[in-house]
Amino acid sequence: MSTIHPDQAEALGLVGNRRHDGPDHDTIDGSMTIDPATRPPLVLGDRDFKSVTDTICGWIEDKTPSWWIPAFAVSNLLAITGTLMIVYLIITGVGVWGLNNPVSWGWAIVNFVWWVGIGHAGTLISAILCLFKQDWRTSINRFAEAMTIFAVVCAGMFPGIHVGRVWMAWMLFPIPNYNWIWPNFRSPLLWDVFAVGTYFTVSLLFWYMGMVPDIATLRDRATKRRNEKVRFGPMWAPHPLPDFVKKATTITLPANMIASYVYGVLAMGWRFSSRHWWNYEKAYLLLAGLATPLVLSVHSVVSFDFAVSILPGWHTTIFPPYFVAGAVFSGFAMVLTLLIPARMLYPGLKDFVTAKTIENMCKIITVTGSIVGFAYIMEFFIAWYGGNPYEQDAFVRRAFGPYWWAYFAMFFCNVVSPQVFWFKWCRTYIPFIFAITIVVNIGMWFERFVIVSTLSADFLPSSWAYYSPTLVDILTFVGSLGVFMTLFLLFLRFLPMLAISEVKNVLPQANPHHPMYDTDNATHHGEGH
């Protein structure tokens, strides 16, 4: 018995759950609809399930895009440079960095906090926005989660090499040793080990679990391709070929063989059973519930590194939420920095990552940037209000001292620049958004630099010293960018960059009670309003 396929035919005009009772403002470009009664469509281009699968899998299955190999080569080169710097550091000592006596924490800790912060947007998008049922996140969550994991990898590098004697790094963990010495659980640096370790593990598991069904899709497609044997042989061969020749010249392409095997192993045998989905969705929700406080805790613990101390400028009770807001802020900026070029380079991505999604992210950047600005002002006010001359001095020195340029850059990039997104034009003009996200990334790096450089004027004026980085510092940081980009490019090439099943889930056709399936009550369509 043949059944019609209503997806493609009827999806036209039914994109998005909107009520047809008002003037329809043009939502065709996916920009934020003005009419409050409607929700703009989440996926454009009147896509059916099949075209979603084909587009997203196509990015992986098609030939390597021409820009990919040069980009990968450059990223690799940077990563190798960074690695060489680390080798140089390890065989020489931390003196190759610009550290001096009061500034015993330099770029390494700045980079660590910056990278960890960037990671936060991934968890925010996948967990918190999931709990708040923000369906527009489905098109960016995979992307952002991947970014989280690679950012945490880069972050984890820095404390590792910062300890100087990296071969002693195992002492960070509570492992019994010959002296029966245990790590100091009262030290914030040890909390970092647990917080970042947990964060990395949970993010990785969350990412992987989300990817299992999509990998299964890739597996099934690879299996189909593997089953299609390819003929090869000389053009001049006789036309019908004798059987034994035919057998010898039809093969399975090795790439399909490998893909089917690797995706097969990774897919865990997922077979899209509803009974499985039921447990899966529950687990996903629970993980979102766990990841939400986790993401708050990780940057709070990072802020404890500074805030539990009694150093002026570091000991501020607002640090935990302020660090978290800053982390989300920088993470969203980084997601956009990666998404905007990807939207250009991958045809079809614009249908999923709509202008509306970008606009929403711009708004979140403005909100979190303003929260960060709020914290800067509160810090300053309480530094004065507290009446502690050292505290006041630390803040005055930040804004007007030798590092005034860093403070200015921080304040301008983080508080002033995102305010442009109050204007519709600014959050819809893509090149401008891209520029602002770069500015925000720089600003958040400077925020951590401002905090760390407070060390340069400690309690003993005779030891005050200006901190400047060495070439090794700079190249190590650039190297971490290379590592990040290398991993990210690999992700784009070999793994589904959009959550296929989640995107399908927000298509209007996915709702079994959607009026388009109401064949019995077809007349109801018109009389509803």
Q: How far is the CB of 126 from other proteins (least distance, A)?
A: 13
For the chain, the distance separating the N- and C-terminal CA atoms, rounded to the nearest angstrom, is 37
CA distance readout (Å), 300 to 60, 322, 383, 414: 38, 9, 21, 19
Residue 231 three-state SS: strand
Sign of the dihedral defined by the CA atoms of residues 320, 322, 325, 327, in that order = negative
437 or 509, CB closer to other proteins?
509
Q: What is the DSSP letter of 100?
A: -
> In the bound complex, what is the minimum distance in angstroms from residue 78's beta carbon to other proteins?
32
**In whole angstroms, how close is the CB of 514 to other proteins at the nearest point?**
7
Going by C-alpha positions, the residue among 411, 230, 224, 188 that lies closest to residue 320 is: 188
Cα separation of 322 and 324, whole Å? 5
Choose between 50 and 229: whose C-beta lies nearer to other proteins. 50
Shortest spacing between CB 122 and other proteins, in angstroms: 15
Phi then psi dihedrals of residue 30, to 5 deg: 80, 0
Q: Which is nearer to other proteins, 155 or 475 (CB)?
A: 155
Nearer to other proteins, 86 or 503 (CB): 503
Smaller CB separation from other proteins, 248 or 285: 285
If you compute the radius of gyration of the chain from its CA atoms, what whole number of angstroms results?
27
Q: Shortest Cβ distance from residue 54 to other proteins (Å)?
A: 8
Q: Name the token pair of 444.
A: 């958040």
Which residue, 82 or 264, has its beta carbon nearer to other proteins? 264
Closest contact distance (angstroms) between CB of 505 and other proteins is 4
> Is the distance from CB of 45 to CB of 56 less than 8 angstroms?
no
Opening angle at CA 322, ends 309 and 304, nearest 5: 25
Least Å distance, CB 178 to other proteins, is 13
Residue 520, CA distances (Å) to 9, 186, 523, 525 in order: 17, 68, 8, 11
Q: Which is nearer to other proteins, 391 or 473 (CB)?
A: 391
**Is the Cβ–Cβ distance between 483 and 157 less than 8 Å?**
yes
> 3-state SS string over 285-350?
HHHHHHHHHHHHHHHHHHHHHHHCCCCCCCCCCCHHHHHHHHHHHHHHHHHHHHHHHHHHHCCCHH
Whole-number Å distance between alpha carbons of 318 and 501: 40
Give the phi and the psi of residue 524 in degrees, each rounded to 5. -65, -25
The owner of tokens 């290398």 is 486
Cα 494 to Cα 24, 57, 59, 144: the distances in Å are 40, 10, 9, 16
Q: Say how far apart CA 440 and CA 364 lie, in whole Å.
A: 13
Query: Could you tell me the smallest distance in angstroms from the CB atom of residue 477 to other proteins?
Result: 27
The nearer residue to other proteins, 133 or 239, going by C-beta atoms, is 133
| Between 187 and 463, CB nearer to other proteins | 187
Tell me whether residue 354 or residue 476 sits nearer to other proteins (CB atom). 354
Beta carbon of residue 513, minimum distance to other proteins (angstroms, whole number): 7
Nearest distance from residue 386's CB to other proteins, in Å? 5
Tokens found for residue 407: 């403070």
Structure tokens at 345: 């380079």
At its nearest, how many Å lie between other proteins and the CB of residue 95?
28
Q: Between 53 and 330, whose beta carbon lies closer to other proteins?
A: 53
CA dihedral over 83, 85, 88, 94, signed as positive or negative: negative
Cβ nearer to other proteins, comparing 75 with 501: 501
Closest CB 415 distance from other proteins, rounded Å = 11
* Joined tokens for residue 324: 């978290």
Q: From the CB of 136, what's the least distance to other proteins, in Å? A: 11
CB contact at 8 A, 304 and 280: no
DSSP assignment letter at 422? G
Q: What's at 129, amino acid-wise?
A: L
Alpha-carbon distance 374 to 151, whole Å? Answer: 26
Q: Which is nearer to other proteins, 221 or 343 (CB)?
A: 221
